[in-house]
Amino acid sequence: MSRLTHPLRAVAALAATFAAASALADCPPLLDVSVAPIGGGKPMKLCEAYPGKSLLIVNTASRCGYTPQYKGLESLYERYRERGLVVLAFPSNDFNQEPGSSGEIKEFCERRYQVQFPVFEKTHVKGTEASPLFSALAKAAGTPPQWNFHKFLVSADGSRVESFESAVTPEDPKLTGAIERNLR
């Protein structure tokens, strides 16, 4: 009996290795980027952290006229997360409205808006300094963020990217309709 146990373990280990390699091979280039959670933590690849999830990626700021959209983004996250949507916030000072440190931004999001969706370290979202993620999003959507709270909706397989300007609120039927179509 012990002779059978050993080969079965080896087969199971080999199958797990092939499954992991296959998952990595399926990582769409758009989501094959590492990002760091705000306030510390190990950087993660988006395709590994959120496999099979549709992503609403938003560049945010704490001192902007659109900042109250945090509340709507949290509502979207609560409404659609069970169906596969994850909201991801990337604070940016590219428009000079996010001067805070990581700790201050994290505290602001949690205290003021009770944000439960993932928030990442401050990043550049436009121009030559744009992070690899935002460079890829801008290329895929045909436009970089023009202001804070620009939204990119990425399909679960990373093949489609829709872009929504800052004035499109989280409650706007254009955005919620796109989310609904994306989650079918």
Q: What is the pLDDT of residue 24?
A: 45
Mean pLDDT of 160-164: 97
Q: What is the pLDDT of residue 106?
A: 93
Mean pLDDT over the full length of the chain: 89
Does pLDDT of 5 surpass 70?
Answer: no
More confident residue, 12 or 109: 109
* The overall pTM is greater than 0.95: no
Verify whether residue 109 is a known catalytic residue.
no
State the catalytic residue, choosing from 27, 47, 64, 109: 64
Does pLDDT of 14 surpass 60?
Answer: no
pLDDT by residue (tens digit) across 69-90?
A: 999 999 999 999 999 999 999 9
Does pLDDT of 163 surpass 70?
Answer: yes
Does pLDDT of 107 surpass 70?
Answer: yes
Mean pLDDT of 91-114: 94
- How many C-alpha atoms does 51 have within 13 Å on its Cβ side? 8
Q: 10-14, 129-133, 152-156: which range is least confident on average?
A: 10-14
Mean pLDDT of 127-131: 96
Distances in whole angstroms, Cα of residue 176 to Cα of each of 73, 75, 110, 179: 11, 11, 24, 5
Superfamily of domain 27-183: Glutaredoxin (3.40.30.10)
